[in-house]
Amino acid sequence: MDTPQMGIAARLAAKMSMAEQHEYLRSKVTRRRVVLGGMATAGTVAASGLLGGVAQAQSPAPSLLTRPATDHHVDGALVAPFGRHLQFGADPKSQFTVSWQVPLAVRRPFVRIGLAPWSLSHRIEAEVRALHTPQLLNSKLPAVDQYYLHVRLDGLRAGTTYYYGVGHEGFDPATTAAFGTIGSFTTAPAHSEPFTFTAFGDQGVSYHALANDSLILAQNPAFHLHAGDICYADPDGSGQQSDSADYDARTWDSFLAQTESVSARVPWMVTTGNHDMEAWYSPNGYGGQEARWTLPGNGHDPKNQPGAYSFVYGNTAVVALDANDVSYEIPANYGITGGKQTAWLDRTLAGYRGRHDIDFLVVFFHHCAYSTTNSHASDGGVQTEWVPIFDKYQVDLVINGHNHVYERTDAIRKGEVSHAVPIGETTRPATDGTVYITAGGAGRSLYSFPAPDTFEGSEHPVDTVTTWHSAKGGAHVVDTVTWSRVRYTGYSFVSIDVQPGRPGRESTLTVSAIAETGERIDHFTVARRTS
């Protein structure tokens, strides 16, 4: 993995933080043009005049991106937008971001939106985030220029379906020729009502990834959670300097095109895995993410850690975390927030748990609190720094990726099984503990378990599984565990039906794991008394 050209010993490289790798790459790679803070600032749009909402300024764009080598614009009639991906703002009732990509630089990109596809608004100017990736160290891949476009919409009406079209000078979705490109999205309801959401992690670009997307679309989810290791432009994911030799920014293009069938109509809410630390763009490795996504931006430090945020949809609060901050296994960004993300998590869960209009707390992030695979197993950093907080606030469901399988625990408290949750059973986190799901079977090559698969329709339970967790410094500590309730080696995702209850009765999350084949491989219910 090390070469004289890199001029750095592999052992040293393995210990470099993401910031040190970034500095090293920047010092070694000849670049034609780098502009700090060189971004357009349009694209922050209040829909007030258009749709009767309230105007509100948004935070400025991220500060460290590279501008492409040329500002050459093509004839806009020659290119069509692709890779549309929707994201919630901090308030899904009134804030959405429409994002997309164009293959070449275009002039005056914009969105039109409206309450009917034949009645769209004037052009709302988009923010252009151009991203230049040079030929990196030891890489045979060419330099790449990418153009991401974003429009933040504010002041939308709750529970309302909007139609939208994206375009640029020479390509207008309001014209007959491009009318077929118009999409739609629906804002969160003003009051609690039943809905479905879906989740997985570790997708990449593959036949299996596409098959899972198709099944997800059929669930008609209100939103989708992607628990990191999003596209594998960095196929190594070791968090080490040597990753740059294989880094291929163009994988993002393929990924966004693959994802568009869902993400053009379903908010596609991502967080950050180990493969999503990309050293070239910024000291924390998240500069590429800042260009490609516009996440809610309400975490402890959204400018530097966009993958930590939260939102409320109906009676459910969702918290996204950047587990690179606490991972003992892959420590390139370990401790990057100095504990601030963890303090924010505590504050955020406390706030949500204290609200009478919120029943369920769902937390998702990449590295596993509890998994038994032979590849990554459990991360002691997550167990040490976050699990006590999940216990403290009786978190209703934790969803992880990182291990490329489906695995589901019994209810756990203080690291031990506190309540058995066989397939089909109901658990009550207020008294029983928290169930942890690993949903890393979205599309990348699968891992193996040290014990037999056991899932709905093919149950082969064992009393204990011998596995391990990563200790600080990376050592594997052997564990013999009793919490591994469901194991499935196959491509899959989770679909969660949320049913609010009447006051004094129970609200429920009905969690189903669905295989790429369409077969259900697990289901259970999470219940909580409605306040």
> Among 137-145, 197-205, 246-254, 282-290, which window interacts with Fe ion (CB under 5 A)?
197-205
Residue 155 vs 273, nearer CB to Fe ion: 273
Scan residues 403-442 and list those touching Fe ion (CB under 5 A).
none
Part in contact with Fe ion (CB under 5 A); list of ranges 147-155, 195-203, 488-496, 501-509:
195-203
Alpha helices per DSSP H over 277-357: 287-292, 340-353
Tell me how far apart the alpha carbons of residues 311 and 225 are, in angstroms, rounded to a whole number: 12
Give the CA distances from residue 343 to residues 132, 321, 323, 385, 519, in Å, rounded to whole numbers and listed in that order: 35, 12, 14, 10, 40
Q: What's the min distance (Å) between Cβ of 224 and Fe ion? A: 17
Residue 402 touching Fe ion (CB under 5 A):
yes
Judged by CB under 5 A, the stretch of 2-10, 108-116, 123-131, 398-406 that binds Fe ion is 398-406
Beta strand 183-186 with 161-167 is antiparallel
Could you give the residue ranges of the DSSP H alpha helices within 287-331?
287-292
**Closest alpha carbon to 269 in 316, 309, 214:** 309
User: In terms of CB distance, is 132 or 366 closer to Fe ion?
Assistant: 366
Please report how close the Cβ of residue 231 comes to Fe ion at its closest, in angstroms: 11
Question: Site map for Fe ion, 270-289, x if CB under 5 A?
Answer: ---xx---------------
Binders in 68-97 for Fe ion, by CB under 5 A: none
Going residue by residue from 112 to 131, which x/- string records binding to Fe ion, judged by CB under 5 A? --------------------
Q: How far is CA 46 from the centre of its chain?
A: 25
Q: Which is nearer to Fe ion, 241 or 274 (CB)?
A: 274
**Cα–Cα dist 286/280, whole Å:** 9
CB of 273 to Fe ion, least distance (A): 4
Q: Which is nearer to Fe ion, 17 or 438 (CB)?
A: 438
Our CB check for Fe ion shows the closer of 182 and 199 to be 199
Q: Of these, 91, 145, 213, 229, which contacts Fe ion (CB under 5 A)?
A: 229
Q: Which is nearer to Fe ion, 249 or 439 (CB)?
A: 439
The C-alpha atoms of residue 393 and residue 379 are separated, in whole angstroms, by: 21
Minimum distance, C-beta of residue 434 to Fe ion, in the bound complex (Å): 21
Residue 236 CB, nearest approach to Fe ion (Å): 11
Compare residues 66 and 272 and give the one whose CB is closer to Fe ion. Answer: 272
> Which residue has tokens 């606490």?
326
The owner of tokens 């339970």 is 461
Stretch of 31-39, 192-200, 265-273, 516-524 lying at the interface with Fe ion (CB under 5 A): 265-273
- 22, 280 Cβ separation under 8 angstroms: yes
- How far does Cα 301 stand from its chain's mean position? 17
Q: CB 305 → Fe ion: shortest distance, Å?
A: 17
3-state secondary structure of 185: strand
Question: Mapping DSSP to helix (H, G, I), strand (E, B) and coil, where does residue 211 land?
Answer: helix
Candidates 167-175, 266-274, 310-318, 406-414; binding stretch for Fe ion (CB under 5 A): 266-274
In terms of CB distance, is 271 or 274 closer to Fe ion? Answer: 274
Q: Which residues pair with 455 in a beta bridge?
A: 458
Report CA-CA distances (Å) from 241 to 24, 30, 181, 331. Answer: 8, 17, 41, 13
Task: Report which residue type is found at 502.
Answer: R
Distance CA 29, CA 42 (A): 31
**Nearer Cβ to Fe ion (51/442):** 442
Span of 26-34, 119-127, 229-237, 495-503 interacting with Fe ion by CB under 5 A: 229-237
CB 206 within 8 Å of CB 444: yes
Query: What minimum distance in Å lies between the beta carbon of 400 and Fe ion?
Result: 10
Q: Minimum distance from CB of 255 to Fe ion (Å)?
A: 14
DSSP 443-488: SSPP---SS--BBTTB----S-EEEEEEPTTS-EEEEEES-EEEEE
Q: What is the C-alpha separation between 438 and 486, in angstroms, rounded?
A: 10
Looking at residue 334, the DSSP 8-state letter turns out to be T
**Biggest alpha carbon distance in the chain?**
68
Work out how close the CB of 367 gets to Fe ion at its nearest, in angstroms, rounded to a whole number: 7
Residue 168 or 444: the one with the smaller Cβ distance to Fe ion is 444
The distance of closest approach from Cβ of residue 285 to Fe ion in the complex, given in angstroms and rounded to an integer, is: 14
Minimum CB distance to Fe ion smaller for 87 or for 272: 272
Mapping DSSP to helix (H, G, I), strand (E, B) and coil, where does residue 171 land?
Answer: strand
Q: Strand, helix or coil at 307?
A: coil
Shortest spacing between CB 441 and Fe ion, in angstroms: 10
Q: Which stretch binds Fe ion (CB under 5 A): 117-125, 162-170, 294-302, 395-403?
A: 395-403
Number of residues binding to Fe ion, judged by CB under 5 A: 5
Q: Which of residues 346-375 bind Fe ion (CB under 5 A)?
A: none
Question: Which helix (H) or strand (E) segment is 18 a member of?
Answer: helix 18-28
Which residues are bridge partners to 45 per DSSP?
Answer: 153
Q: Which is nearer to Fe ion, 227 or 423 (CB)?
A: 227
- What residues line the site for Fe ion (CB under 5 A)? 202, 229, 273-274, 402
